[in-house]
Amino acid sequence: GPKVVSQELSAELLEEVEAVLRRPPVIWDNLYANDYDCRRVFLGPYMGRAPGLMSRLQGLLLNPNCELQANFIPIHTLGTWFGSELGSCAHPERAGTSHPCLRQLCLPSPAGLPRLMSCSSSGMEGALGDSQGAQDGSYSPQEALELALRDWVAEINQQALEPGK
């Protein structure tokens, strides 16, 4: 983005960067970074990124908070955002340029690991249950935050039940 910690990344900005680089860019996203000021901790959802962003990128790297535990919500909501981006690729008319490599990311999940997106004969199915968010390519930071908070509380409760913790 235009700043070290950019609150927003637009499609227009990415077009400019792509024109200069003559290829899709790789983004190092400092949205949650606090290595420059540890008093700043970001606990909110992934937001401020244009819809259809992944179809315009070669990759996206996230610079997390320094405090490991503070990253649950940011990384969880990034996963939800990414799922909506995959859903947006299923509807190229909503995503701008469709990136064929994104379709290959829809792979079976290793045993025991949660699946962000799954493929079926009818298309992509999102982890948001009945919510259309991941399926229709839309992303709601508020819905993603609520989902992350629910899962975080479940994780905390599970750890509290484990012996020796």
Please check whether residue 27 lies inside any domain of the structure. yes
Please check whether residue 94 lies inside any domain of the structure. yes
Residue 111 one-letter amino acid: A
pLDDT at 135 over 60: no
What tokens were used for 30? 């400092």
Number of domains in the chain: 1
**Tens of pLDDT, residues 31-80:** 888 888 888 888 899 999 888 888 889 999 988 888 888 899 999 999 99
Q: Is 8 helix (H, G, I), strand (E, B) or coil?
A: coil
Please check whether residue 3 lies inside any domain of the structure. no
Please tell me the predicted confidence (pLDDT) of residue 98. 42
Global pTM reads: 0.67
Please check whether residue 6 lies inside any domain of the structure. no
Please tell me the predicted confidence (pLDDT) of residue 72. 93
Please check whether residue 112 lies inside any domain of the structure. yes
Please check whether residue 5 lies inside any domain of the structure. no
Please check whether residue 15 lies inside any domain of the structure. yes
What tokens were used for 106? 């829809």
Cα–Cα distance between 39 and 148 in angstroms, integer? 23
Residue span of the structural domain in which 53 resides: 11-161
Residue 27 · residue 62 · CB < 8 Å: no
What tokens were used for 58? 């070669």
